Amino acid sequence: MKRLVAPSILAGNHARLAESLAVVEATPGAEWIHLDIMDGHFVPNLTFGPQTIKDLRPDSKLFFDVHLMLSRPDQYIEAFIDAGAQNVTIHTEPDYDHLATLKRIRELGSQCGICINPGTPVEDLLPYLDHVDLVLLMTVQPGFGGQSFRTDVLPKIETVAKWRVDKGYQWRIEVDGGVDANTGQDCLKAGADTFVAGTAFFKNPDKPAFVASLQG
Ligand code: DX5
Ligand code: ZN
């Protein structure tokens, strides 16, 4: 599995999102951008919506990895894919039809991911593993950038990586929250291949070296 760093635009200046995108685009090796959508309900923060993604889309060749932290992601799938999302990740925790939503994401031509928070049992992912392109393990409680990495999630990464080997799954294992050069290496050793990095990317004076350190 090719390793990827997905810088999270959450850590950039939100009045200058296009500039943040250009910074990522100009970083050798960077292919993905991670876009965090928060509804102030599933998580205690708000970010931006499909219109912002739509307006950013023509400026960029990056792969748009959209992380929906919403109580009802099922109501917004079409809007985000129309806007240019290429992967849409949804959480197991809220109450809606998860499988139908994953199916809908693929029908509309996007890849799909399933995500759990640090406090959610890893087994909650099991019903979705045949239906996704990506499994996202939150390594902080979602809502804000710049939090400390939760080392207690590392065994979950190992579990998911073992499932992938045992069953021959092809999905990516993505980690999100507090991922920097050091914690990223821990995730890599545990079996992750896709590293979301907000603060550690945007505040890094040597972005190419940071990306290379995780992508190999
Ligand atoms: C957290 C978001 C993350 C966030 C990560 O709720 O899902 O994608 O941007 O930011 P850092 O890397 O600063 O922890
Ligand atoms: Zn995220």
Domains present along the chain, CATH in parentheses: 4-215 (3.20.20.70)
- Cβ-in-10-Å burial (0-12, 13-18, 19+) of 57 comes to middle
Report CA(82)–ligand 1 centroid distance (Å). 24
Question: Which position among 39, 133, 176, 193 bears the catalytic label?
Answer: 176
Task: For 150-196, write each residue's pLDDT tens digit.
Answer: 999 999 999 999 999 999 999 999 999 999 999 999 999 999 999 99
CA of 38, nearest ligand number: 1
**Closest ligand 1 atom to 8 CA:** 9
Q: How confident is the model at residue 69 (pLDDT cuts 50, 70, 90)?
A: very high
Catalytic-residue membership of 152: no
Find the mean pLDDT for residues 77-93: 99
- Between CA 173 and CA 188 the distance in angstroms is 10
Ligand nearest to the CA of 20: 1
Q: Are strands 32-38 and 63-69 parallel, antiparallel or unpaired?
A: parallel
* pLDDT mean across residues, the chain: 98
Q: Which atom of ligand 1 is nearest to the CA of 141?
A: 6
Does residue 216 register a pLDDT over 90?
no
Pocket of ligand 1 (CB under 6 A): 8, 10-11, 34, 36, 67, 140, 142-147, 176-179, 196-200
Whole-number Å distance, alpha carbon 7 to ligand 2 midpoint, is 10
Protein residue whose Cα sits closest to atom 2 of ligand 1: 142
Kindly name the residue from 36, 74, 133, 180 that is annotated as catalytic. Answer: 36
**Strand, helix or coil at 8?**
strand
36 tagged catalytic: yes
The pLDDT, as a whole number, for residue 44 is 98
Percent of the chain with pLDDT over 90: 99
Cα–Cα distances in angstroms (integers) from residue 159 to residues 10, 86, 122, 188, 215, in the given order: 28, 27, 8, 13, 22
Per cent of the chain over pLDDT 70 is 100
